[in-house]
Amino acid sequence: MALATTDKTFAADVLSSDKPVLVDFWAPWCGPCRMVAPIIDGIAEKTAGTAKVFKLNMDENPRTAQQFGITGIPTVIVFRNGAKAAQLVGAQPEAAYLKALGN
């Protein structure tokens, strides 16, 4: 299952990670976000040990979403070595997220 990250923990959780990190920027009122949620949780299970998977609730953590220019959700960003490596906007199939993550 994907873990939650926040404005306060984002740098430590994501930017300082020595593994690739997939972050799902979402909101509870977003229908497509709810559709993607089980896919993201499945990716977390499939990549356990090789990558990290987090979810960031944009309603509760607007600073990080603004920092990365998120205007549409769901948006998934893959980070490698603290830098944005890939970004996907809108609901995508699992294969697209895994490809962006490098799996």
Indicate which residue of 2, 21, 23, 33 is catalytic: 33
**46 tagged catalytic:** no
HEC profile of 3-50 = EECCCCCHHHHHHCCCCCEEEEEECCCCHHHHHHHHHHHHHHHHCECC
**45 tagged catalytic:** no
Indicate which residue of 23, 30, 36, 77 is catalytic: 30
- Whether omega before 93 lies within 30 degrees of 0, making that bond cis, reads no
Active site residues: 30, 33
